[in-house]
Amino acid sequence: MRVLIVGAAGFVGRHLVAECAGHGDDVTGTYLAEATAGAPDDAGLSWLPLDLLDEGSIDRALETARPEGIVHVAGQANVSAAAADPIAAFRVNAEGTVRLLNSAQRHVPGARVLVVTSAEVYGAVPAEELPVTEDRPLAPRTPYGVGKAAADFAAEQAWVVRRQPVIRMRPFNHVGPGQRPGFVVPDFARQIAAIERGVRPAVLEVGNLSARRDFTDVRDIARGYRLALERGRPGAAYNLCSGRSWAIEEIVRELLGQARREIEVRRDPARMRPSEVPEFRGDSTRAHEEFGWEPRIDLARSLAEVLDEWREASASPAAGRTAD
Ligand code: GDD
């Protein structure tokens, strides 16, 4: 399939490029010029600039790539950053999705479009009603969730009103190599790598440890997107999740179990959020039944790989990401 990945230079985008290209798709990636300072230099992949705030750039990318399938993984993925600047997050996540859908309808009306929203669209679900299924009404609790819920509704409408073949994906938390600091696992792994190297005191600073999240490896998530693009039902929404939740405290315990030094844990008030959903836990039966998806990589392995990634970065800070 001729696939356009919007946001291909991001955390999920990179894994999705590998997943689709590895399965024989003809992949074009889009990048945000101001974020990457020019086209990324991956051999064998075509790159086009695209800014979700700029309709002309979306039109040009679609006219050039003429995709049969579009996967939209661009935008603001950071829940705290969206809370700090809700208008910017809403513009890129909600308005940007509407712009992309409209442009796709004009230029490639038959193209299947995968719109990636989030578990955050469900908001706070009472513990006895977990795991959450796709039929649950959306009730977002955070500015990030509000923008993602708007994108989700817009995607559903594109199907209902004009039969544009749009599929909604609602991933729960994902982890794995390439995730930037600002998310919980790289935030912890980066500190641990710096502590092991002796460039930081042996204290791990943490935020809310009682929150519970449903984690899946990013490579499993990428496989889910490819399967949904090929076999998902237009108009449907699909959860991608593991079906169990881990307290962030358990993540800390697992990472410290893998650490090469004794490390003290300390609560950093600056890492606490004013408001957040206490637990996410999803049901991905629909994705399993309709396109055979289930997660394969266990969390301990994902955490070990992220920790190793930060150990390497810490050993050669000039190579890109700094250890602290
Ligand atoms: N980032 C971060 N840093 N989070 C921390 C820390 C810390 O030092 N300490 C504790 N936490 C807690 C947060 O308060 C939150 O409860 C949990 O760890 C996970 O935080 P994040 O990794 O920032 O992810 P998120 O749950 O807010 O959002 C992620 O999942 C969504 C789907 O459920 C993101 O990947 C979103 O893009 C995604 O839509």
Cα(61) to centroid(ligand 1), Å: 32
Query: Which residue puts its alpha carbon closest to atom 24 of ligand 1?
Result: 183
**Using a 6 Å cutoff on CB, does residue 172 contact ligand 1?**
yes
**How many other β-carbons are positioned within 10 Å of the β-carbon of residue 56?**
9
- Ligand 1 contacts CB of residue 81 (under 6 A): no
* Domain annotation for the chain: domains and CATH numbers: 2-174+216-240 (3.40.50.720), 179-213+245-280+298-321 (3.90.25.10)
Q: Which pLDDT value is given to residue 318?
A: 56
How far apart are the C-alpha atoms of 266 and 212, rounded to whole Å?
19
pLDDT reported for residue 63 = 98
**Can you tell me which residue has the tokens 């190793």?**
308
Measured from the Cα of 268, ligand 1's closest atom is 8
| Residues of the chain falling short of pLDDT 50 | 319-320, 322-324
Closest-CA residue, ligand 1 atom 3, reads 184
User: Alpha helices of 164-321 — where are they, by DSSP H?
Assistant: 184-196, 218-231, 248-258, 285-291, 299-315
Q: Nearest C-alpha to atom 23 of ligand 1 is from which residue?
A: 183
Nearest CA owner, ligand 1 atom 29: 173
> What is the atom index within ligand 1 of the atom nearest the CA of 171?
32
Q: Which atom of ligand 1 is nearest to the CA of 277?
A: 16
What does the pLDDT read at residue 316? 78
Cβ of 119 below 6 Å from ligand 1:
yes
Ligand 1 site, residue 184, Cβ cutoff 6 A: yes
CA–centroid distance, residue 27 to ligand 1 (Å): 30
DSSP 271: G
pLDDT at 323: 46
* Rounded CA separation 248/219 (Å): 21
* Owner of token pair 């959903």: 277
Of 243, 79, 225, 101, the C-alpha closest to 159 is: 101
